[in-house]
Structure 1
Amino acid sequence: MRKIHVIGIGAGDPDQLTLQAVKALKSTDVFFILDKGEEKDDLVRLRRDLLDAHCGDGGGGSDGGNGAYRVVEVRDPARDRKAGGADYSPAVAEWRSRRADIYERLIGDELGDDESGAFLVWGDPALYDSTLGILEEILDRGAVTFSYDVVPGISSVSSLAARHRTGLNRVGRPVQITTGRRLADGGFPEGVDDVVVMLDAQQVFREYQEGHAGGRLYIYWGAYLGTPDEILVSGPLDEAAPRIEALRAEARERKGWIMDTYLLRRNLD
């Protein structure tokens, strides 16, 4: 039976791969890579650099590392990122189904019955990633059969905390991981003083500058974590937010895209 590895590859640094991830890479016959367009060519390059670093020219293979691997690139379907409110969930579901169509075709057409394929997932497959849900949708359709396993990775959240040399929570206190959209809709969570925010294209942290002067809220922010373009900023939110906004705008203009994550922390003193 065909086998699929879903491999968490960390936030971008090839050194962040676990030994388990390297073993899975070396046992893979075909790597499936989604091309997100010309602006994000460096995301494809980072994946290829990772394969070069850990698999070399000899590649992987279901024989345990002696055969050559193949890389299959396909264009990632565009998603309606303007959809909001009641339209948001249907838009995401429609996009995931189109991705499932592509994954189904790749698994059916590119893998032999006894071969293994792999999807390389940024960070950790269990945190704000659609791959596992898409594979389950494909299996439910019944057109192709395969088994799959999941290799955890170092998420951008873990990388952010490490780069800022801080913990995600404090003694006896909870931490919540959410999205910029949820933070904008629901506000700062009740009873939570440490909030990690991902996927925040709207820079919702700016809404918390007013009324939190004097350092009541601190921010630990990072962009392009684990890559040569990494940017880090930390400090009281009212002081750090303008700098983050300027750095973020410059980086996005220069590269055409940005991936950032931040921790908002309420001062308990």
Structure 2
Amino acid sequence: MIDLHLIGIGTGNPDHLTRAAIAAMNAADVILLPRKGDAKSDLIDLRRTICADVLTGTTRVIEFDLPDRDTSAPYLSAVDQWHDAIALAWRDEIAHHLPNGGRLALLVWGDPSLYDSTLRIADRLRAEGLAMRVTVEPGITSLQALTAAHAIPLNRVGAPVLITTGRRLRAEGWPAEVDTIAVMLDGDCAFQMLDAPGILIWWGAYLGMPHQALIAGSLHEVAERIIRTRANLRERHGWIMDIYILCRDQSGNPG
């Protein structure tokens, strides 16, 4: 039996770890850290730093190479194949490092519940017959970090919020029946496709990290600055994690 602990680690700041997350890390026999290539070396370095800061016992930290997603294939089928490949990589690491079972931990950016597929990949292994019990230690999401950084509420009073992706926003435009949307996984700045007048934006990158960047204002006025800033930061660091909230301008902020 594998006891798999999926631990939300926030957006890169070790202070985002909960006490439960720290306890789960120290209770694990093995923590697996995925390597994503030189362009994202900061990501593995952050995980290494978090482990070095909080581990006090005999937990082994094992690094493995994460498979690449085929960006030339249709999106959904490419993601499905990618998840299969990641599940296989997990299985290989488990067989090598925990052949007789034990406690395995994976560190998940933000929280496993929000635009993360770690739980789905674990389901693949269980469906294939691996005896696995899954426990989640929740973490601070990038959405929480964004609203905190800008000191804004997420929703207007009594109103809904839609969480979506840049790909969906670009393909479908502004969703019907909502005035506030949170957009994740947007590598192409899909907000520039919108009819900007009357829309406010709160954008943030590297939230909670020393090089955190924030821009807010009328989309019409700040869109080009966000695009330039994002491109410069990506070139400087080799990767970027960002998120933004869009709101129809009724009251000046989502509340």
TM-score normalised over the length of structure 2: 0.95
Equivalent position of 1:137 in the other structure: 124
Which whole-Å CA distance do the structure 2 matches of 1:175 and 1:19 have between them?
A: 30
CA distance in 2, matches of 1:261, 1:212: 18
Residue of structure 2 equivalent to 1:247: 229
Aligned with residue 124 of structure 1, among 94, 99, 111: 111
Distance apart, 1:44 and its partner CA: 0.8
Is 2:57 aligned against 1:73?
Answer: no
Q: Is 1:160 paired with 2:146?
A: yes
The Cα shift of 1:232 comes to 0.6
State the secondary structure of the residue aligned to 1:32: strand
- Give the 3-state SS of the residue equivalent to 1:206 in structure 2: helix
- Counterpart for residue 235 of structure 1: 217
Moved over 3 A (4+): none
Name the SS of the counterpart of 1:254 in structure 2.
Answer: helix
Residue type matched to 2:93 in 1?
A: L
Q: Which residue of 1 aligns with 2:46?
A: 46
Amino acid corresponding to residue 70 of structure 1 in structure 2: R
Contact 1:2 1:112 in 2 (8 A): no
Amino acid at match of 2:107: L
Cα RMSD (Å): 1.2
What amino acid maps onto 2:59 in structure 1? Y
Instruction: Could you tell me which runs of 5 or more consecutive residues in structure 2 were left unpaired when the two chains were aligned.
Output: none
* SS of equivalent residue, structure 2 residue 87: helix
Question: Does structure 1 residue 108 correspond to structure 2 residue 99?
Answer: no
Counterparts of 1:173 and 1:247, CA distance in 2: 31
CA–CA separation in structure 1 for the residues paired with 2:91 and 2:131 = 10
SS in 2 for 1:228: coil
The answer on 1:195 being equivalent to 2:181 is yes
What's the offset of the Cα at 1:82?
Answer: 4.1
What residue identity is the alignment partner of 1:161?
Answer: T
For 1:132-174, what per-residue CA distance to the aligned partner results, in whole angstroms no more than 9, with x for missing partners?
11111111111x3221211111000110000000011010110
Q: How far did residue 81 of structure 1 move?
A: 2.6
Alpha carbons 2:27, 2:59 under 8 Å: kept:
no
Inter-partner Cα distance in structure 2 for 1:2 and 1:90: 29
Tell me the residue number matched to 1:65.
Answer: none
Give me the whole-angstrom Cα distance separating, in 2, the residues matched to 1:189 and 1:172. 18
1:194-213 → structure 2 map (5 Å cutoff): 194-208=180-194, 211-213=195-197
Structure 2 CA distance, aligned partners of 1:43 and 1:137? 25
The residue matched to 1:174 in structure 2 has which SS? coil
User: Residue by residue, what CA displacement relative to the aligned partner does 1:113-149 show, whole Å, maximum 9, x if unpaired?
Assistant: 352111100001011111111111111111x322121
Secondary structure at 2:94 match in 1: helix
User: Where in structure 1 are there 5+ consecutive unaligned residues?
Assistant: 60-67
Identical-pair percentage = 45
In structure 1, the residue matched to 2:3 is 3
Cα-to-partner distance string for 1:58-90 (whole Å, 9 max, x where unaligned): 33xxxxxxxx1111111111112344xxx2211
Report the CA distance between 1:111 and its aligned residue: 1.3
1:165 counterpart letter in structure 2: A
